[in-house]
Structure formats: structure tokens, C-alpha cells
Amino acid sequence: MEKTYRLGVIGGGFMAKAILHGAWKSEFLSPSDVAVGEPDDARALEFTHWGAFTCADNRYIAENCDYLLFAVKPQVFPQVAEELKGCRLPVVLSIMAGKTRSAISSALGGGVKVARAMPNLPCSVGKGAIAIDTSALSERESAFAHALFASTGAVVETEERLLNAVTGVSGSGPAYVYLFLQALTSAGEEQGLSAEQAKMLALRTLTGGAEMVMANPERSLQELIDAVSSKGGTTVAALESFARDDFKGAVSRAVGAAVRRAAELSE
């Protein structure tokens, strides 16, 4: 039986908006293809204005779509799963951190096909990094999931067991970038630049450096570091200071802390 909506979404928060905006902007889906389950009237109204169907009845959403995206906080999921008991569910896509495929399927009554994805904040500007595990889906179903998330950024297929590592690198990673940008800006101010000058120079350095990496895939990161460095020069002095402060170790420990916390949340 043909369903009314191509995609149902439970939860109308920031990431749901980012994913749907990407899908609509890329024309992978149209607003009329989407139904959103959101109890908050103000949030629901935003989706209604864009042309999507909205309601507070999660059962209706789940029973009338080809694919169902869970975009709720993990702690809200048990309540939603209780609401959906007895529903004949479609393929489930989840962006909930820490909720395994088996735990999601079991909570929903078992026998449900589940794919998990870990998007990050830059999905909201179409520059996201998304890791996805579609091993439980058919080729056609996997293609839909990949296309949906690809509308918001770059997608990599991975194993579910590695999604905690993904969380530590790219899920939490934007905060590390902002922290470095903040530190570089502050350092510029300490050296006499205005706040506006320091932020612009630091920001363009970060974005330009990342663009150079993407534009030169044949060059290793070390080669690019060497291209900026000259023996006895300013860059080498800065890099030696970073080495003395164990910069790489600090980053490794921070990512490890995020991965361990993700594992704790999965238990």
C-alpha cells in the first residue's frame, strides 16, 4: 500500500530542520513529501509554513510514511517508543546519539529495520560531515538514506561500532574548531590586533587552510605543514611551541574523552 508521505520525522528540533532544509533545497524531497511529528505549536508552525504536514500524533506520522526519521533527544525516545507500540513501522533512520540499532528496534517491538546516522552542526549550512550505518537496509533503502543525508554534506558509510569514534571526531568536532578559532583570535588581540581584525584573519586562515586540503587531495597534511614552514622561520617556532605543549596529545585525549562519554551514553 502506497504511503501518504515519503519521509516522516519525529522531532522538529535544530537538526531536523537542517536535514529537511537540505533535502528541500537539493530537491531530493519536496515539502509535501514530508510529515513532521512535533507537539510544540511554534516549532510545528515553521514546518507548516514551509509546506510540510505537521501534527502531534506520532502514530499517524509513523503509519503514513515510507521512512521514519527519529530526531528526538535520546532521553525522549522511550516515551515515543511507548506511543508507537503496535504500529507497523517503516524503515527507521535515527540520529539519536547513544541509541544502538538493536536497542531502537527492541524498544519499537522488534523486527524493525534501523539505520543510524551521526550528523554534525555544519549540516545546517550544507557543509556537514555525516557517518551512517545502513547495513540493515536493502540497496534501495540505503540509497534513500544516503541521498537524504548527502543533501546536508558529505556522507561516509561506516560500521555502527565506530559511531562513537565518529562522535568524538566530527560530531563534537565543530566545538573544537570554534575553540581553536577563539584561541587564535584571542592570541591575535594579545599581539595588538583589534578583535575584528584578529577574528577575520583567524577565520579566513582556518577556512582557507581547509579548502587547500580539499583542493590538494594528493598532498599529505604533513606536506602542507612543510609548505608553510621554513627552517628557522616563524612557523617552525610556533610548531615547536605546540610540540612542547603536546598539542597532538591534548587533541587525542579530548577526542578520547568524547568517545568514552558516547560509550557511557550508549549503555
Q: What's the confidence (pLDDT) of residue 97?
A: 87
How does DSSP classify residue 133?
A: E
Q: What's the confidence (pLDDT) of residue 68?
A: 98
Distance CA 247, CA 227 (A): 20
Q: What's the confidence (pLDDT) of residue 164?
A: 93
CATH homologous superfamily for 5-164?
NAD(P)-binding Rossmann-like Domain (3.40.50.720)
Would the pLDDT of 1 be above 70? no
For residue 129, CA distances in Å to 13, 119, 165 come to 19, 6, 13
**Residue 11 confidence class, pLDDT cut points 50, 70, 90:** very high
Would the pLDDT of 266 be above 80? no
Distance CA 98, CA 123 (A): 19
Distance CA 25, CA 18 (A): 10
**Contact criterion met (CB below 8 Å) for 152 and 123:** yes
* Mean of pLDDT values over 250-262: 95
**Residue 225 confidence class, pLDDT cut points 50, 70, 90:** very high
Residues of the chain with CATH 1.10.3730.10: 173-266
How many other β-carbons are positioned within 10 Å of the β-carbon of residue 201?
14
**Contact criterion met (CB below 8 Å) for 5 and 65:** yes
- pTM (2 d.p.): 0.90
Q: What's the confidence (pLDDT) of residue 199?
A: 98
Q: What's the confidence (pLDDT) of residue 167?
A: 94
The more confidently predicted of residues 267 and 49 is 49
Q: Domain 173-266 carries which CATH code?
A: 1.10.3730.10
Q: What's the confidence (pLDDT) of residue 5?
A: 96
Residues of the chain with CATH 3.40.50.720: 5-164
Residue-wise pLDDT tens digits, 131-180 = 999 999 999 999 999 999 999 999 999 999 999 999 999 999 999 999 99
Residue-wise pLDDT tens digits, 78-134 = 999 999 998 999 999 999 988 999 999 999 998 999 999 999 999 999 999 999 999
The gap from C-alpha 241 to its chain's centroid, in whole angstroms, comes to: 33
The torsion region of residue 29 among left (phi > 0), alpha (psi -120 to 50) and beta comes to beta
